[in-house]
Amino acid sequence: MSGRWVLAVALVMVGLPLAALAEGLPRVEITPFFGYRFGGGLEDAETGEDFELDDSAYSGGLLDLRLGEATQLELYYSRQVTELQSEEGLFYARTLCDLDIEYYHVGGTYVFTEGPWQPFIVGTVGATHINPDATGSDSLTRFSLGLGGGVRFFPTPHLGLYLAGRCLFTFLEGEVIAHSESGSTTVTVDSSGLWQAELQAGAIFAF
Protein backbone atom coordinates (compact mmCIF):
# COMPACT_ATOMS: atom_id res chain seq x y z
CA MET A 1 0.00 0.00 0.00
CA SER A 2 1.41 3.43 -0.94
CA GLY A 3 2.14 6.14 1.57
CA ARG A 4 -0.77 8.23 0.29
CA TRP A 5 -3.24 5.43 1.01
CA VAL A 6 -1.83 4.91 4.49
CA LEU A 7 -2.22 8.64 5.17
CA ALA A 8 -5.79 8.64 3.82
CA VAL A 9 -6.82 5.70 6.02
CA ALA A 10 -5.19 7.34 9.05
CA LEU A 11 -7.07 10.61 8.42
CA VAL A 12 -10.38 8.74 8.14
CA MET A 13 -9.73 6.78 11.35
CA VAL A 14 -8.92 9.99 13.21
CA GLY A 15 -11.48 12.26 11.55
CA LEU A 16 -14.57 10.12 12.08
CA PRO A 17 -14.15 9.74 15.85
CA LEU A 18 -13.48 13.49 16.06
CA ALA A 19 -16.73 14.11 14.20
CA ALA A 20 -18.52 11.91 16.72
CA LEU A 21 -16.93 13.91 19.53
CA ALA A 22 -18.33 17.08 17.97
CA GLU A 23 -21.77 15.48 18.35
CA GLY A 24 -21.16 15.14 22.10
CA LEU A 25 -20.71 11.34 22.04
CA PRO A 26 -17.88 9.33 23.64
CA ARG A 27 -15.23 8.35 21.10
CA VAL A 28 -13.86 5.24 22.78
CA GLU A 29 -15.46 2.39 24.73
CA ILE A 30 -13.54 -0.32 26.60
CA THR A 31 -15.54 -3.37 27.71
CA PRO A 32 -14.00 -6.22 29.71
CA PHE A 33 -16.42 -9.15 29.85
CA PHE A 34 -17.01 -12.68 31.08
CA GLY A 35 -19.24 -15.24 29.43
CA TYR A 36 -20.23 -18.82 28.79
CA ARG A 37 -19.51 -20.56 25.49
CA PHE A 38 -21.19 -23.72 24.23
CA GLY A 39 -21.39 -25.86 21.10
CA GLY A 40 -18.54 -27.03 18.96
CA GLY A 41 -19.26 -30.48 17.58
CA LEU A 42 -16.69 -32.14 15.29
CA GLU A 43 -16.59 -35.37 13.31
CA ASP A 44 -13.39 -37.31 12.68
CA ALA A 45 -12.87 -37.79 8.91
CA GLU A 46 -10.97 -41.05 9.46
CA THR A 47 -13.24 -42.87 11.92
CA GLY A 48 -16.56 -41.00 11.82
CA GLU A 49 -16.34 -40.60 15.61
CA ASP A 50 -18.04 -37.52 17.07
CA PHE A 51 -16.19 -35.13 19.33
CA GLU A 52 -17.42 -32.12 21.25
CA LEU A 53 -15.88 -29.13 22.97
CA ASP A 54 -16.81 -28.95 26.63
CA ASP A 55 -19.11 -26.03 27.43
CA SER A 56 -17.23 -23.61 29.68
CA ALA A 57 -16.73 -20.05 30.88
CA TYR A 58 -14.44 -17.66 29.04
CA SER A 59 -13.29 -14.05 29.23
CA GLY A 60 -12.23 -11.25 26.90
CA GLY A 61 -12.54 -7.62 25.99
CA LEU A 62 -13.86 -5.15 23.43
CA LEU A 63 -12.46 -1.88 22.12
CA ASP A 64 -15.06 0.18 20.25
CA LEU A 65 -14.18 3.36 18.31
CA ARG A 66 -17.09 5.55 17.32
CA LEU A 67 -17.39 6.22 13.59
CA GLY A 68 -20.74 7.98 13.63
CA GLU A 69 -23.78 8.56 15.78
CA ALA A 70 -24.87 4.92 15.52
CA THR A 71 -21.82 3.08 14.16
CA GLN A 72 -18.63 1.81 15.79
CA LEU A 73 -15.48 0.00 14.74
CA GLU A 74 -15.06 -2.97 17.09
CA LEU A 75 -11.96 -4.95 18.10
CA TYR A 76 -12.84 -8.21 19.86
CA TYR A 77 -10.68 -10.68 21.79
CA SER A 78 -11.69 -13.71 23.85
CA ARG A 79 -10.04 -16.80 25.34
CA GLN A 80 -11.66 -20.07 26.37
CA VAL A 81 -10.00 -22.97 28.17
CA THR A 82 -11.92 -26.14 27.32
CA GLU A 83 -11.60 -29.86 26.55
CA LEU A 84 -12.07 -31.95 23.42
CA GLN A 85 -14.25 -34.90 24.40
CA SER A 86 -15.45 -38.11 22.81
CA GLU A 87 -18.99 -39.10 23.72
CA GLU A 88 -18.92 -42.72 24.88
CA GLY A 89 -22.22 -43.00 26.64
CA LEU A 90 -25.16 -41.13 28.09
CA PHE A 91 -23.32 -40.14 31.28
CA TYR A 92 -19.66 -40.51 30.32
CA ALA A 93 -17.34 -38.53 28.05
CA ARG A 94 -13.67 -39.38 27.41
CA THR A 95 -11.39 -36.35 27.39
CA LEU A 96 -8.99 -36.42 24.46
CA CYS A 97 -7.04 -33.28 25.33
CA ASP A 98 -7.30 -29.75 26.69
CA LEU A 99 -7.77 -26.87 24.23
CA ASP A 100 -7.20 -23.14 24.43
CA ILE A 101 -9.35 -21.24 21.90
CA GLU A 102 -8.72 -17.55 21.19
CA TYR A 103 -10.65 -15.26 18.84
CA TYR A 104 -9.09 -12.13 17.32
CA HIS A 105 -11.77 -10.21 15.42
CA VAL A 106 -12.48 -6.80 13.93
CA GLY A 107 -15.86 -5.60 12.74
CA GLY A 108 -18.66 -3.11 12.97
CA THR A 109 -21.43 -2.38 15.45
CA TYR A 110 -24.71 -0.60 14.80
CA VAL A 111 -26.17 0.88 17.98
CA PHE A 112 -29.64 2.28 18.49
CA THR A 113 -28.56 5.21 20.66
CA GLU A 114 -31.92 6.66 21.72
CA GLY A 115 -32.19 6.60 25.53
CA PRO A 116 -30.17 4.74 28.18
CA TRP A 117 -31.19 1.30 26.82
CA GLN A 118 -29.34 0.74 23.53
CA PRO A 119 -29.95 -2.42 21.47
CA PHE A 120 -27.21 -3.24 18.96
CA ILE A 121 -26.09 -5.70 16.29
CA VAL A 122 -22.50 -6.61 15.46
CA GLY A 123 -20.64 -8.48 12.71
CA THR A 124 -16.94 -9.38 12.81
CA VAL A 125 -14.23 -11.24 10.89
CA GLY A 126 -10.82 -12.41 11.97
CA ALA A 127 -8.85 -15.39 13.17
CA THR A 128 -9.32 -18.27 15.58
CA HIS A 129 -6.24 -19.66 17.32
CA ILE A 130 -6.64 -23.24 18.59
CA ASN A 131 -3.89 -24.59 20.83
CA PRO A 132 -4.28 -28.25 21.90
CA ASP A 133 -2.40 -29.41 24.99
CA ALA A 134 -1.45 -32.83 23.65
CA THR A 135 1.81 -34.49 22.69
CA GLY A 136 2.56 -34.14 18.97
CA SER A 137 -0.21 -31.58 18.31
CA ASP A 138 0.44 -28.22 16.68
CA SER A 139 -1.59 -25.07 17.16
CA LEU A 140 -3.82 -23.76 14.35
CA THR A 141 -4.81 -20.23 13.31
CA ARG A 142 -7.71 -20.12 10.86
CA PHE A 143 -10.19 -17.62 9.39
CA SER A 144 -13.46 -17.11 11.29
CA LEU A 145 -16.67 -15.06 11.29
CA GLY A 146 -18.90 -13.70 14.03
CA LEU A 147 -22.43 -12.35 14.26
CA GLY A 148 -24.35 -11.20 17.30
CA GLY A 149 -26.40 -8.65 19.12
CA GLY A 150 -27.54 -7.50 22.51
CA VAL A 151 -28.26 -4.46 24.60
CA ARG A 152 -26.23 -1.80 26.42
CA PHE A 153 -27.53 0.17 29.40
CA PHE A 154 -26.00 3.53 30.28
CA PRO A 155 -27.13 4.89 33.67
CA THR A 156 -24.41 7.55 33.21
CA PRO A 157 -22.75 8.84 30.00
CA HIS A 158 -19.42 7.19 30.79
CA LEU A 159 -20.35 3.91 32.49
CA GLY A 160 -22.61 1.21 31.11
CA LEU A 161 -23.59 -2.45 31.32
CA TYR A 162 -23.20 -4.83 28.39
CA LEU A 163 -25.25 -7.97 27.62
CA ALA A 164 -24.82 -9.85 24.34
CA GLY A 165 -24.90 -13.13 22.47
CA ARG A 166 -22.76 -14.21 19.50
CA CYS A 167 -22.34 -17.05 17.06
CA LEU A 168 -18.82 -17.79 15.81
CA PHE A 169 -17.77 -19.99 12.90
CA THR A 170 -14.21 -21.16 12.15
CA PHE A 171 -13.25 -22.78 8.82
CA LEU A 172 -11.52 -26.08 9.67
CA GLU A 173 -12.41 -28.69 7.04
CA GLY A 174 -9.63 -31.29 6.67
CA GLU A 175 -7.58 -29.88 9.56
CA VAL A 176 -5.95 -32.09 12.17
CA ILE A 177 -7.17 -30.69 15.48
CA ALA A 178 -5.44 -32.85 18.06
CA HIS A 179 -3.81 -36.12 19.02
CA SER A 180 -4.60 -37.94 22.22
CA GLU A 181 -2.15 -37.71 25.10
CA SER A 182 -0.85 -41.18 24.21
CA GLY A 183 -0.58 -40.28 20.52
CA SER A 184 -2.89 -43.15 19.60
CA THR A 185 -5.78 -41.01 18.31
CA THR A 186 -5.81 -38.24 15.73
CA VAL A 187 -8.84 -36.01 15.07
CA THR A 188 -9.15 -34.77 11.48
CA VAL A 189 -12.18 -32.53 10.97
CA ASP A 190 -14.68 -33.86 8.43
CA SER A 191 -17.26 -31.06 8.74
CA SER A 192 -16.81 -27.64 7.13
CA GLY A 193 -15.83 -26.03 10.38
CA LEU A 194 -16.51 -25.27 14.01
CA TRP A 195 -19.66 -23.53 15.27
CA GLN A 196 -19.73 -22.00 18.74
CA ALA A 197 -22.26 -19.79 20.52
CA GLU A 198 -21.68 -17.58 23.52
CA LEU A 199 -23.37 -15.33 26.06
CA GLN A 200 -21.41 -12.48 27.62
CA ALA A 201 -21.80 -9.69 30.16
CA GLY A 202 -19.48 -6.84 31.01
CA ALA A 203 -19.00 -3.23 32.04
CA ILE A 204 -18.54 -0.42 29.48
CA PHE A 205 -16.12 2.42 30.19
CA ALA A 206 -16.77 5.25 27.71
CA PHE A 207 -14.47 8.22 27.07
**124-146: per-residue pLDDT in tens?**
999 999 998 877 678 899 999 99
pLDDT score of 150 = 98
Whether the pLDDT of residue 203 is over 80: the answer is yes
Residues 123 and 101: their CA atoms lie apart, in Å, by: 19
Q: Convert the pLDDT of each residue in 9-48 to its tens digit.
A: 444 444 554 444 446 778 999 999 999 999 888 877 777 7
Q: β-strands 193-206, 93-111: how paired?
A: unpaired
Of 50-54, 55-59, 64-68, 123-127, give the lowest mean pLDDT range: 50-54
Q: State mean pLDDT over 199-204.
A: 98
pLDDT score of 188 = 74
- Domains of the chain, each with CATH number or no CATH: 3-206 (2.40.160.20)
φ, ψ (nearest 5 deg) of residue 14: -85, -40
Q: Give 88's pLDDT tier (boundaries 50, 70, 90).
A: low
pLDDT score of 114 = 78
Taken in order 112, 117, 123, 127, is the CA torsion positive or negative?
A: positive
Q: Which residue has the higher pLDDT, 182 or 62?
A: 62
